[in-house]
Amino acid sequence: MTLLPALLLATALGQTPEGSPGAEPATHETTAQHAEHDAGPAQVLMHHVVDGPVFGFGSKHLVSFVLAALLVLVIVQRAKASYRQGIPSGVGALVESFVVFIRDEIAEKNIGHDGRKFTPLLCSFFFFILVAALFGLVPLPQYAEGEWSFAGVTSTGNLAVTLALACVSFLAQQYAGIARNGWLGHFKHLVPAGMPVFLLPIMIPVEFLGMFTKPFALMVRLFANMLAGHMVITALLMLIPLMSAISVGFGIAIMPVAFGLALFIMLLELLVALIQAYIFTLLTAIFIGMYAHPAH
């Protein structure tokens, strides 16, 4: 009894083109009477992007986060293994081009001559954010609360995950500042040197809070970008059951439109994933550079 509406939701929301014409006419009546989801469109949308249990684990974002991290490790291992006489091939070449880009354009340009030491950290940020975002675009079968569904899970669309990333970034910035300038020097460099004394009561709190608001902005930016993208995809695909609740003909007619729109938004998501990973890494490097080599 719960399988048929689940199938309808799965095929409509789960981005699988085959099977939907068969599922829709038979089941659109049962969705209307089906009280289990309390299925308004807002609830279905939130159910999809908000964290929930899956496969017996308490949190699907946690599972996706761990899987994305493992995927990064596997990719990097394969890249390392593909080196023959100092020349990579395949995955290795791709990873190497990214790593060289991060080392030269992001680390060295923004942190200075000792920027290379921060390259592993920046590469970790970049690859993890990119892979987590791409991982969220792939629909995977999930089993939760007694029913199957196909959906993508973007772990960086969870405030806790981006909070963790921002904390690591914050710690890296503080480490860079304190290791280079000492405890006192790091905090003394918060305010620029030639500052008139009457401005100090304003500048000190502002700069001190700035130490915290910068990673906070990183966190919210990444979270909101990933969440918004995923919500838009889900909302566009939800047009299908929405229209088919009015009539089957509408449902079938809206299907290619909805798939086209969702496909376009998913392509945009690819671009956004790359850009957001780049921006997070770049801003972390800039902040590390600001604290490690204060330019006064």
Partner 1 sequence: MPTDPKALAYFAAGIGAGLAIMGGGAGIGRLAAAAMDGISRQPAAAGDIRGAMIVAAGLIEGVTFFALVVTILLAIK
For partner 1, the binding residues (CB under 8 A) are: 42, 46, 217, 220-221, 223-225, 227-228, 275-276, 278-279, 282
Measured from the CB atom, is 26 or 275 closer to partner 1? 275
Q: Which residues contact 8 (CB under 8 A, 6 or more apart)?
A: 23, 24, 27, 28, 30, 31, 241
Distances (CA, A) of 171 to 51, 62, 180, 186, 243: 27, 22, 14, 13, 49
Measured from the CB atom, is 229 or 251 closer to partner 1? 229
- Interatomic CA distance for residues 191 and 189, integer angstroms: 5
Q: Where are the alpha helices (DSSP H) in 103-158?
A: 109-111, 119-137
CB of 285 to partner 1, least distance (A): 12
CB of 239 to partner 1, least distance (A): 18
> In the 8-state DSSP scheme, what is residue 57?
B
CB of 78 to partner 1, least distance (A): 29
Of 106, 47, 105, the C-alpha closest to 286 is: 106
Q: Where are the alpha helices (DSSP H) in the chain?
A: 3-13, 20-33, 41-49, 60-81, 91-101, 109-111, 119-137, 159-188, 200-237, 239-246, 248-292
- Interatomic CA distance for residues 223 and 158, integer angstroms: 6
Measured from the CB atom, is 7 or 219 closer to partner 1? 219
Measured from the CB atom, is 52 or 88 closer to partner 1? 52
CB of 123 to partner 1, least distance (A): 18
**Six token digits for residue 36:** 């289990």
Q: Cβ atoms within 10 A of the Cβ of 26, count?
A: 12
Residue type (1 letter), 137:
L
Concatenate the DSSP letters of all residues of 91-107 into one string. Answer: HHHHHHHHHHHIIIIII
Measured from the CB atom, is 103 or 189 closer to partner 1? 103
Measured from the CB atom, is 132 or 282 closer to partner 1? 282
CB of 283 to partner 1, least distance (A): 8
Measured from the CB atom, is 11 or 276 closer to partner 1? 276
- Interatomic CA distance for residues 25 and 82, integer angstroms: 51
Measured from the CB atom, is 20 or 158 closer to partner 1? 158
Sign of CA dihedral 72, 136, 214, 212: negative
CB of 83 to partner 1, least distance (A): 29
CB of 195 to partner 1, least distance (A): 26
CB of 220 to partner 1, least distance (A): 6
